[in-house]
Structure 1
Amino acid sequence: MRAVAAGLVLGATLGLLAACGSPDPTATPQPVDDPTAPDTREAWEVQWDELQVKAREEGELVIIGGSAAVVYRPLFKFFGDKYGVKVRSSGGSSRQLVDRILAERKAGRFTIDLFISGLGTSLERLVPNGVLQPIEPLLILPEVNDLSNWSAGRRRFVDPGREYIISYAASAGSGIEASWYNTNRLTTEDVQSITSVWDYLDKDWLFVTTPPTDPGSSGGWTSRWWAPDVGPEWVEAWIRNPNVTWMIDARAIQDGLVRGRWDLEIMTVGVGGEFERLQELAAPIANIDQDPVIRDQWTDLNFLSGTASGDIVSAVDRPLNPNAQQLLLNWWLSHEGQTQRHILTTDRNPDPTLRTDVTEWGNTLPEDRRVPGKEYAFLEDTPGYDPVQGLEDMVALWESIHR
């Protein structure tokens, strides 16, 4: 009897094993990789996939710069978690950082990948010393290279050669001329008749302006000289305007406007804060920028300002981690990268992206965003833009007329 039972158990066991080892005729066949099958990916996809693998092998990325290197750390962490690359970012004085870069390169050491700091330092020292490499050859993603995804249908380069320093974000200026006027001499209706700086030329008002010979006034004069809707024609007409008093002394400008010597100040230096204090003390002055009617109807001097450390990026030549450098640069300029920049930055009011397909604005301020359909001038991206030469031309013109 035991023999029979043992035989039954053995038979059942063998039957179970046989059943387990037999293929199920109803099961779905599993796909098997065919090494001879053609790769259907597009060339950029192959390059992008390979770049990710190589970047993970490098394992890290080094970024240095100004405040952006600090406030963008959450963004870099997001990137690092997604692609398996540890990003080390450090911020500091632009001058000291560039001193470090140049000293290391002179010693044959190449320790960084990307530089994010204000435009001045890069133009003055990094570009002339051959520290940066061209950006465009590094761009792979079609959505980054598709210019229809960018404001005005172009990439904004802010170095003279238009190849080393790319701007991906900018604040939009309202364009209004923020000038103070004497409310005893001009009525609300008077100032609301102004829609452009060109309208000032048709008024018989008395104006006060700081001449372009004063170093502190260079910004205002330069913006008008290069603005496509203002330009040298307006500048020359203003310099020749007989209703303009030329003055450098800020205290005298403030006192004269309050006392009614002039109707309106335009392009003066060092007066804004004091005028605000005097207005609070009931002085008869107001700023046309405070009038919503004028703000809505103003037509020219609409600028994009996008050269701060949080607006631009440069790729260092001979980077420590070339693949990680290229990977981050492409992702940074992508829809996802710019969206996450809005959301993750610790900057309280980052400049809005220059991409046109980003709809999540995060911490950006509404007044800094571009108005759809409105044209803006981006001076640093203007062909032939040379603020030094422009200022020299304006000074020469002013001196030829007034001296």
Structure 2
Amino acid sequence: MNGPNFRRILTLGLSMFLGLAVRAEAQEWKTKWDKILADAKKEGKVAVAGPPGTAYRNVMRAFEKKYPEIILEYQGFTPSNFTARFSKERQAEQYLWDLYITGPTGFDITAKKAGELDPIKPLLILPEVRDERVWLGGFEKAFLDSEKQYVFAFQAQITPQVHVNREFIPEKDLNSIKGLLDPKWKGKIAINDPRVDGAGNGRIALWAGQLGEEFVRALLKQDLGLTRDDRQLADWLARGKYPIAIGIGDTEIQELQKIGLGLKVEPLGGKLAEAWRLSTGWGAVRLVNKAPHANAAAVFVNWLLSKEGQTAWATIASRPSRRTDVPRVVGLSPEPGVDYFDIDREERVNLRDKAQEISKSLLR
């Protein structure tokens, strides 16, 4: 039985089998989700520690509207404040938190080693949350930890590495990051001191991983102006004392532009990947070990990472999502097709220390 009829029967049988498998898989997640949702409503609340600020609290209110049966206990912390409080609570055997939302910090590594985080990946049940197509670089790439289980980054924000005052340096003379090594820019570049933690160190760390140590060493030999004062760095740039600045924030530039200074300051490098720092900001979530409301935590995190939750994050908090199917935040959302270097990954945590080491050896 090798003729056309056999092939048609085989194709039909295979299609039926695949259809049954898809339906079974759909039924499996739906059954699991319905049980979790029912149990979450019995728990009645979820405790979330997250970023401070009214905008973030307003995002959380959108969850309460979606699930009024689950009370959201939300408290905002800076990373250092949460770490100190969490440590004291653990010593007292108090297990108060379900989820912790903040950017990548040393807490992730120490808490994971101490067994104080549980894998969050098994909680991510909704197909739209696990959909590879809707996350920048794919679903798996959103995990920052080496195991791809514990820390899920749902925010992706780009910030310029370098700013140039075009009043003093036209674009035809400098239009790329690698162009900074030209000897004619020696003594014309200022940087937020990379020998200490901060924006300058972060820029050098990124380039060390992306462009290599040789590039970094050559740049640090360009007779850089050093400061640990963001306002001074902005003033140098705006007035042209140093028409090129590394590691400066938009806030400082905007303040000077309000009084008519630095009106021609702009980012360097266009859409080149090395011209931008891809960061997680406050937007990564992890599951705390011994969570008191495990089912409610699952409901919350699936909502947060859904299209609805990430739309709230992008539109209410004005922070760019890693999801590609929600509204973009102008000036902050990554550009499609650009392969940014994600320095927030655990395997790259040592780049900052390496950047400090190199900077200290070359800068006096």
TM-score range, shorter chain: 0.7 to 0.9
State the match for 2:10 in structure 1: none
Task: For 2:338, give the aligned amino acid.
Answer: K
The 8 Å contact of residues 271 and 338 in structure 2, kept in 1 or not, is answered as: no
> 1:234 and 2:215 equivalent?
yes
TM (normalized to structure 2)?
A: 0.75
Residue identity opposite 1:86 in structure 2: I
Cα distance in 2 for residues equivalent to 1:280 and 1:176: 24
Residue 336 of structure 1 is matched in structure 2 by 308
Bigger mean CA deviation after superposition, 136-145 or 272-281: 272-281
Q: Percent identity?
A: 24
Give deviations 1:249-283, integer Å, cap 9, x for gaps. 689999998998x774443889x95998599688x
Q: Provide TM-score, normalisation by structure 1.
A: 0.68
Contact 1:135 1:163 (8 Å CA) reproduced: yes
Kindly provide the amino acid, as one letter, of the partner of residue 352 in structure 1: P
> How far apart, in 2, do the equivalents of 1:212 and 1:81 lie?
45
| Contact 1:114 1:316 (C-alpha < 8 Å) held by counterparts | yes
Give 1:355's aligned residue: 323
Distance in structure 1 (CA, Å) of the matches to 2:197 and 2:71: 45
8 Å CA contact 1:301–1:377 kept in 2: the answer is no
CA distance in 2, matches of 1:380, 1:218: 14
Amino acid of the structure 1 residue aligned with 2:333 = R
Aligned pair 1:300/2:284, yes or no?
no
In structure 2, do the counterparts of structure 1 residues 133 and 369 end up closer, same or farther at CA, with 3 Å as the change threshold?
same
Among 147, 159, 184, which residue is 1:204 paired with? 184
Q: Which runs of 5+ in 1 are unaligned?
A: 1-37
Could you tell me how far 1:322 is from its partner in structure 2? 0.8
* 2:74 corresponding residue in structure 1: 89
Cα distance, 1:215 vs. partner? 5.6
User: 1:26 is matched with which residue?
Assistant: none
Secondary structure, in 3 states, of the residue corresponding to 1:380?
A: coil
Q: 1:53 offset after TM fit, Å? A: 1.0
Cα-to-partner distance string for 1:146-187 (whole Å, 9 max, x where unaligned)? 2222101243233455432221012223x462134773xx5x
Residue 246 of structure 2 aligns to a residue in which SS? coil
Partner of 1:394: 358
Partner residue, 2:9: none
Deviation at 1:128, TM superposition (A): 4.7
| One-letter amino acid matched to 1:356 | T
Between 50-59 and 390-399, the greater mean CA deviation after superposition: 390-399
Match of 1:143 in 2: 128
Once the 2 structures are TM-superposed, how far is the Cα of residue 320 of structure 1 from its aligned partner? 0.8
Residues 1:61 and 2:61 are matched in the alignment: no
Distance 1:256 1:64 in 2: 39
Matched to 1:195, the amino acid is N
Q: Distance in 2 between matches of 1:57 and 1:375?
A: 44
Q: Which residue of 1 aligns with 2:246?
A: 267
The aligned residue for residue 170 of structure 1 is 156
Indicate the residue corresponding to 1:80 in structure 2: 64
Aligned 1:2-401 pairs, distance under 5 A:
42-67=27-52, 70-83=54-67, 84-120=69-105, 122-123=107-108, 126-153=111-138, 154-159=140-145, 162-173=148-159, 175=160, 177-180=162-165, 183=168, 186=169, 188=170, 191-202=171-182, 204-209=184-189, 212-213=194-195, 217-226=200-209, 228=210, 230-240=211-221, 244-248=222-226, 264-267=243-246, 288-289=265-266, 296=270, 300-308=274-282, 311-343=283-315, 345=316, 347=317, 350-358=318-326, 360-361=327-328, 365-381=329-345, 383-395=347-359, 398=362
| Secondary structure, counterpart of 1:179 in structure 2 | strand
Give the Cα separation in 2 of the matches to 1:40 and 1:179. Answer: 54
In 1: Cα distance, 2:37 partner to 2:235 partner: 64
Shift of 1:51: 0.9
| Cα RMSD after superposing both structures | 3.9
TM-aligned CA distance change 1:205 to 1:246, over 3 Å: closer
Aligned-pair CA distance for 1:212: 4.1
Change (3 A) 1:274 1:172: closer
**Does structure 2 retain, via aligned residues, the 8 Å contact 1:208–1:265?**
yes
Deviation at residue 372 of structure 1 after TM alignment: 2.1
Letter in 1 for 2:88: A
CA offset digits 1:215-270 (Å, max 9, x no partner): 664233223222x2x33231133245xxx22443689999998998x774443889
Q: Is the 8 A contact 2:167 2:264 kept in 1?
A: no
Q: 1:73 to 1:199 in 2, by over 3 A?
A: closer
Alpha-carbon shift at residue 80 of structure 1 (Å): 3.2
